[in-house]
Amino acid sequence: MVEKNPYAHKHYTHVKDEKDADAVAWTFLNKDEFVKFPFKFEEIGDDEIRANVCYVGLCYSDSHSARSHWGPSNYPLTPGHEIVGIISKVGKNVKNFKVGDRVAYGPFRDMCNNCDACRMGLENACLGSSFFDVRSTYGEYWGGYATAFQQPARFAFKVPKNLPSDRTPPLLCAGVTVHAPLARYAKPGDRVAVIGIGGLGHLAVMYAAKFGCHVAALSSTKDKADEIKKLGAHEVISSVDMAELEKYASRYNVVINTLSVSNEKMWGHYVDLTAPGGTFVQVGAPPAGENFTLNAFQIIAKNIAIAGNFVGTRRETQAMLEFSALHNILPMCEFFSFEDFPKAFNHLEKGKPKFRCVVNCEEYAKKHGLYKAD
C-alpha cells in the first residue's frame, strides 16, 4: 500500500517495500538522518526524461545542501548532481533523446528565460528561478543518489562515446566549474595558478595544461609534487608558506582558487599572485557566513579583475565534455557500492578523497530488479 506520509513530496511517493518501488534513493530525512528510501515517481512529464542511474559523483556541495550549511534545505532531500545514466522512458515532447541513450546531468533543472542573465546566455546565473539558490536545487527534483531519476530533458547532456560512465560524473560539476573560467580567461602561453589540488583543482591543472598554459599548482603539502606534475603542472608551490607565495606575486595571468574555505590570512596572498591586467577567479564555495576581505589597492594598483564562476551554462558544459573526450581528461576517483553510500558520504566529508567519490548505482539496481526499460 502506498504511504504518502510522513515523507510527502511533490514528485516522489515513499513506499514501504522495495518490491513496490520504481527506485531506491539514499535520502536525508533531516540534516542528520541518511537512509534508504524506496519511492515511486509521479507520471512522467511531457518534457521529461526518466533514466537508470549508472554512476553518480559526490560533491562537497551535496554536504552543504544536506546539512543545511547554506540555509534551511527542503527535506526529504536526495542529493547528487553529477549523474550518468541510461534513459528508460521519455515524455512525448522529447525529441533529442530516446530510450537506451546514455545521458548526463549536472546541477541545474530550470531557468526562467526572462531575466537579464538568461537573455545574456548566463542561465547558470538565472535570477528568476529558485534554482539560482543552490539550497533549492533538490527541492523540486531529487538528485542522483538513487537507482533512477526523472528530470527535465532540456538540461540533459549527450556523453561523448569515449568518456567512460564511471569517471564522467565529476566532470558535470567539478569539471565544468574550472573548465568554463579557463575557457573564458586563459589563452595559450598564459601563466595559470591553481590553488588547491583537490577535486576541482586536479582537473583545473589538466585543463590548463591542455589549453597550452604554463601551470603552477598550489598545494598545502609538497609530498605529492611529482604526482601533481604528472597531471600537467610545471611547478608546485606551497599554498600555506607566505614567504614562498611572495616570490610568485604578480606572476600569473589567471589565478583560480578552488578552496571552499575562507582564509582571511591567506586570501590576500592568493590575490597578489595575479599579474597586472590578470584575472583572479573564485570557484570554491565556503559555508554561508564565511567571507573574504579584499584590499581595494590589490585590484586598483595592477588593474586586476576579480571574477567568480558557478558551474557553467549548458553550452559550456557540452563544450567541456567534448574537450575532455578529445584530450582524454578524466578525474581521479575512488569508487563505492550503492550499499556503501553512507561510507562514501562520510569519506567525502572527513576522508579527503583522492580526488572524487563515485558510487555505482547500476549494480544494485540490476541485482534488486530496479533497473527499468520502457
Strand duo 356-360 + 48-58: pairing: antiparallel
DSSP letter at 349? I
CA dihedral 267, 271, 272, 275 (to 10 degrees): 160
From 96, 94, 110, select the one nearest 44 (Cα to Cα).
Answer: 94
- The secondary structure of 101-143 as a DSSP string is -EEEE-S-----S-SHHHHTT-GGG-SSSGGGSGGGHHHHS--
Residue 222: the pLDDT is 79
Query: Residue 170 CB: number of other CB atoms within 10 A?
Result: 25
- The secondary structure of 36-53 as a DSSP string is EEEEEEPPPPTTEEEEEE
Specify the pTM.
0.94
- The secondary structure of 199-223 as a DSSP string is TTHHHHHHHHHHTT-EEEEEES-ST
Residues 6+ apart with CB under 8 A from 20: 2, 38, 40
146 - beta bridge partners?
A: 25
Q: Within 13 Å, how many C-alpha atoms sit on residue 135's CB side?
A: 12
pLDDT in tens, 120-158: 999 988 887 654 444 345 557 889 999 999 999 999 999
Q: What are phi and psi of 325, to 5 degrees?
A: -65, -40
The residue extents of the domains of the chain are 12-173+313-367, 174-308
Residue 264: the pLDDT is 73
Residue 110: the pLDDT is 82
Residue 135: the pLDDT is 37
Q: Is 266 helix (H, G, I), strand (E, B) or coil?
A: helix
Cell numbers standing for residue 18: 522495495
Q: Which CATH number fits domain 12-173+313-367: 1.10.645.10, 3.30.230.10, 3.40.50.2300, 3.90.180.10?
A: 3.90.180.10
pLDDT in tens, 164-189: 999 999 999 999 999 999 999 999 99
Return the CATH architecture of domain 174-308. Answer: 3-Layer(aba) Sandwich (3.40)
The stretches in the chain having pLDDT less than 50 are 1-5, 131-136
Measure the CA–CA gap between 237 and 196, rounded to whole angstroms.
10
Measure the CA–CA gap between 92 and 305, rounded to whole angstroms.
46
Cell numbers standing for residue 46: 511531457
